Amino acid sequence: MPAVQHMKWYGWGVEGVSFHHEDKPGLRPFVLEIIDLDLDTPPGRQTQLSDLDIPTPLIGDELLGRLRAVVGDENAVSEDEDRVVHTYGKSIRDLMRLRGNDLPRVPDVVVYPADEAEVQQVVDAAIAADAVLIPFGGGSNIAGSLQAPEAETRPVISLDLGRLTRVLDVDEEAGLARIQAGALGPDLEEQLNARGWTLGHFPDSFTHSTLGGWVATRSSGMQSDKYGDIADITRGLRMVMPGRVLVLRGLPSTSSGPSVREMVLGSEGRLGVITEVTVQVHRIPEERVILGYLFPSFEAGVAAMQEISTSDASPSVTRVSDAGETRFSFSTRKKSKGVSVSGLVSKGLFKVLERRGWDLDAVCLSFVGYEGGPEHVARQKAIVKKIIGKHGGIGLGKGPGELYDQKKFDTPYIRDFLLDRGAAADVSETAAPWSQLVPMYDNVTAAARKAFAQIGVQGWVMCHLSHSYHSGACLYFTFAFRHDDQEPLARYDVVKSAIQQAFIDTHGTLSHHHGVGTEHAPWLEQDISAAGVQMMEGLFAGVDPGRNLNPGKITVTPLTSRA
Amino acid sequence: MPAVQHMKWYGWGVEGVSFHHEDKPGLRPFVLEIIDLDLDTPPGRQTQLSDLDIPTPLIGDELLGRLRAVVGDENAVSEDEDRVVHTYGKSIRDLMRLRGNDLPRVPDVVVYPADEAEVQQVVDAAIAADAVLIPFGGGSNIAGSLQAPEAETRPVISLDLGRLTRVLDVDEEAGLARIQAGALGPDLEEQLNARGWTLGHFPDSFTHSTLGGWVATRSSGMQSDKYGDIADITRGLRMVMPGRVLVLRGLPSTSSGPSVREMVLGSEGRLGVITEVTVQVHRIPEERVILGYLFPSFEAGVAAMQEISTSDASPSVTRVSDAGETRFSFSTRKKSKGVSVSGLVSKGLFKVLERRGWDLDAVCLSFVGYEGGPEHVARQKAIVKKIIGKHGGIGLGKGPGELYDQKKFDTPYIRDFLLDRGAAADVSETAAPWSQLVPMYDNVTAAARKAFAQIGVQGWVMCHLSHSYHSGACLYFTFAFRHDDQEPLARYDVVKSAIQQAFIDTHGTLSHHHGVGTEHAPWLEQDISAAGVQMMEGLFAGVDPGRNLNPGKITVTPLTSRA
């Protein structure tokens, strides 16, 4: 097997890394309160690989032989664990299905091509044999973009880009780097940093997702306010298509008709296999700081972020948690190790706020990030401080931001910890105009609560605003409930669907940065209208008339057939 | 005929407005020097409308009746002048063909629908009758996007959006406005300004181009460094397609698969008729200033703009003229009316520069624009001043910038003035990474000079950099030569083709902001690769299998068939 490290087949992250709550004394009472789950509950029995009913590979010797001839025997793998790892992404649905031994269609072979030429041969072999080809990056997808259709009778090939990990070239004058699509976040940042550059793209999945995956699903990162979403960052790319390579050179801008670059962005493998991306890179900034703030209400925080977005300031991070997420953040603070939220958001501070008349249950934690030269950072901070003050907010200094920066990639581990104890926790996010964000917040939380009531659970929903644009922002909701293994997926679907529908009904999109996949496909037509779906379908059909390229993603699958 | 004002059928702008050189004493000797043309030459005989051989309309009574029933008799026009106005855009090729009585295919009818519902009925009637439908905004296109294919035997309908001119709604909280696609630049700015807003989109064609046209051709404006290109500004839109309306709501961002919004942008009518656009709008800035600078060389100016693009400054305009364009700018200065280039770039200043060792023939004029609050503007100016100084540049103050701001929409009038006197003047622009801009400049000017030699003329080529991005910028070339009515189009093609080919060969795109049309279509495959062209063709074929929607644009037409 090639030296490509994968996440655990049954959960997030690599073996040996997991969440524990013992050093966070506030978390257990908080979780007990919000979803009636005791974190000291021992985990349920862990499903073993040997428990799974893994179907026999449905692939003929001829195709298998052809693939082995292309990539070498050791890089065309049909072992159980590798096939299972490549069956799903890491959504809560994926994990529930895995743990529930629900694997109707597992890839028949996983191939690890060494370079673009081998990718081309694999693609062409797949088309020639009428096989299905699913590109695979870090496997962190949570939109159902990686699974084969359940009823797929053709051979299914998972094409893992894990050997294409190099920064090929940095144009130091233009700030453009050519990077292979299979590079994981830390890997490409390390290579860039060594030359004094950064991509500046830090999605929550950063440690386990790839550049190609970011492009294929329209990812955004924590500092996207400054560096742009991956669509802005991507200036050119190479994509292997049946019998040909799409070559888009790295360009700052162009008026060459409908944007082919923007057709590949978000295409989730339906148009081909992205092998290389030309990205904007930046010099590592002189200063980088994230400051914490508190607002008396979520509405005040949203209003402040809106005003910042139209001000002369251009921060790198804008984020406001609602009261619930703020309480969650405080509950995860460690006992007393150096700088922490506990040290800064002290009982003393809360007394001051109380005297000012704040409703302490409504307090909202906010982060704003700044990058650049010292003068620039100082001036940005001053502008933001004034705006935040105008909206009743107060500054907390650097402590909370540093903590946030350290903890930012941990959340998926908490989800897995809860899942081990019979609780579902998941996220759903949207983007909408500023004018819709408060109604969106109200409607989505109401919809979630109604759904919790419908399925008879004590549920929890919390939210933050992030990714401010001129005309709006992203609202990111996290929800959780204890299902006690009683129809977990069906009940999850009720909540997830209610939230997604509230997005659309409140002038939001189906997802700001998680893509469509199969998970959000039922809302695509309501998002971009039937005519928009037809345009996409025409594009896909033109490139892939045989539906060999990751079929069933983006434009199909009604919700009813999935549960 | 409806009250829609058009430009002159034979040239740029409205009747009664034209260029004259008498108040610009430096221009006549300059033009005499560079292309051996005496501006005092009286104009050649002006082609009259009655000189033209306008083909009889090729449209049956049934379709005509249907269209009249939809839009009303007075809004379905078959008069000669209206048909001629809608035959071409305003490229130099278009004007040469008009003046040469070369009108192989004139629209058979021009319709002026009142609203989207009427547009839908016109589109559906066109498809039902297997007619060709060409959307028409301001008619300023210079890429050949408006003409019907010469050999088209089906009825040709020009759909003029001139009655859809209203700002429908401004979401004051989100900074989003819904505007009808037929609104001309001044018209929509006036409506927005009245409410305290601006779109901030000012292409050279501003006075005679429409919002829908900008979207359909991927326009950029002079302040795009701040406000973004039209692709950034466009957050949503409505487009009438056969039997349906595409509805993309105004959203700050989305990850809903391949971007349908970015498929419509630049689609030049091949996917449907854009009827409404949701755009980002901004509050009118407190301060707005454009400062002039001089550089000792074009290379120094480019290097300075590159450094500005990666600095903490974010100006609204970045522009550097080469030495030739600088001389042209100086030659158009008026005698001595208040603030002018002549007042500031005085003989005294030139003596200072000479003492500093500058080659005065190489001096390059630059403009950088600033917008925002007073502190912000002051700080931006300080950062830019330092960078410009580092690259040997010096400041000229406000005068030249104010002059530039006043004159910016005048250039097409000069072109027509020259054309009246037997000289061709045209523009070609590209975008490329910073690392390629100096080689691009050298290669394009060399290619143009070689082409001038080939066609045996004393030609002129000049250039400016504008529209800085993180990774590169636009280079905008203007070229001219005296053709004395000797095969003007064939000789023009030699020069234009040489420049376009040099763009592609030096890692540039075929056009930064003029679109593809028929003019740049021969270079599309070299720009986006054969696979990219095939993707576009699949998209178009899916939407418009009968090729009724502005056929022949973007993806076809070899150069040889056009001359």
Tens of pLDDT, residue by residue over B336-358, are 544 344 445 667 787 888 888 89
Domain covering B47-162 in this structure, CATH number: 3.30.43.10
Alpha-carbon distance of A155 to B221, in angstroms, equals: 51
Nearest to B207 by CA among B194, B229, B197, B222: B222
**A263/B259 Cβ within 8 A:** yes
Phi, then psi, of A331 in degrees rounded to 5: -70, -20
Alpha-carbon distance of B17 to B15, in angstroms, equals: 6
Alpha-carbon distance of B26 to B331, in angstroms, equals: 4
Section A238-247 average pLDDT = 98
Alpha-carbon distance of B445 to A149, in angstroms, equals: 56
Active site residue A441: no
DSSP one-letter string for A77-118:
E--HHHHHHTT--SSHHHHHHHHTT--S---SEEE--SSHHH
Alpha-carbon distance of B309 to B471, in angstroms, equals: 8
Candidates A145, A226, A251: best to mutate against B (most CBs of B within 10 A) is A251
Report whether B246 contacts B218 (CB < 8 A). no
Q: What's the one-letter identity of residue A78?
A: S
pLDDT at A132 over 60: yes
Output the six-digit token pair for B7: 């430009």
CB pairs under 8 A between A and B: 312
pLDDT of residue A345: 60
pLDDT of residue B336: 54
Tens of pLDDT, residue by residue over A276-294, are 999 999 999 999 999 999 9
pLDDT of residue A310: 95
pLDDT at A408 over 90: no
Report whether A324 contacts A449 (CB < 8 A). no
Report whether A478 contacts A414 (CB < 8 A). no
pLDDT bin (cut points 50, 70, 90) of residue A33 is very high
Tens of pLDDT, residue by residue over A480-525, are 999 988 999 999 999 999 999 999 999 999 999 999 999 999 999 9
Nearest to B292 by CA among B415, B395, B138, B162: B395
Question: Which pTM does this prediction carry?
Answer: 0.96
pLDDT at A457 over 70: yes
Rounded to the nearest integer, the mean pLDDT of chain A is 94
Query: CATH for B167-283, among 3.10.20.30, 3.40.718.10, 3.30.465.10, 3.90.550.10?
Result: 3.30.465.10
Least confident of A1-5, A207-211, A249-253, B520-524: A1-5
Residue A37 C-alpha, separation from nearest chain B C-alpha, in angstroms:
34
Which has more pLDDT, B277 or A333?
A: B277
pLDDT bin (cut points 50, 70, 90) of residue A337 is very low
Q: Smallest Cβ distance to A531: which of B244, B379, B436?
A: B244
Section A143-153 average pLDDT = 96
Q: Which residues of chain B have pLDDT under 50?
A: 337-343, 557-563
Find how far residue B252's CA is from the centre of its chain: 26
Name, in order, each residue with C-beta under 8 angstroms of A297's C-beta and a sequence gap of 6 or more. Answer: A323, A359, A362, A364, A392
Closest chain A residue to B313 measured between Cα atoms? A376
B209 is in an annotated binding site: yes
Alpha-carbon distance of A36 to A20, in angstroms, equals: 18
pLDDT of residue B352: 84
Alpha-carbon distance of B366 to B368, in angstroms, equals: 7
Q: What percentage of chain A carries pLDDT values higher than 90?
A: 87
Domain ranges of chain A: 47-162, 167-283, 287-405
Candidates B172, B218, B256: best to mutate against A (most CBs of A within 10 A) is B256
Domain covering B287-406 in this structure, CATH number: 3.40.462.40
Tens of pLDDT, residue by residue over B24-43, are 899 999 999 999 999 999 99
Closest chain A residue to B538 measured between Cα atoms? A542
Alpha-carbon distance of A198 to A175, in angstroms, equals: 10
pLDDT at A148 over 90: yes
In CATH terms, the fold of domain A287-405 is Vanillyl-alcohol Oxidase; Chain A, domain 3 (3.40.462)
Phi, then psi, of B397 in degrees rounded to 5: 80, -160
At residue A140's C-alpha, the angle toward residues A134 and A146, to 5°, is 25
Secondary structure string (H, E, C) spanning B276-295: EEEEECEECCCEEEEEEEEE
Q: Where would I find the H helices in A420-473?
A: 434-455
Phi, then psi, of A251 in degrees rounded to 5: -130, 145
State the greatest distance between any 2 C-alpha atoms of chain A, in Å, as a whole number.
Answer: 77
Q: How many distinct helices (H) and strands (E) make up chain B?
A: 20, 18
Output the six-digit token pair for A91: 């959504």
Q: Where would I find the H helices in B395-433?
A: 399-407, 411-419
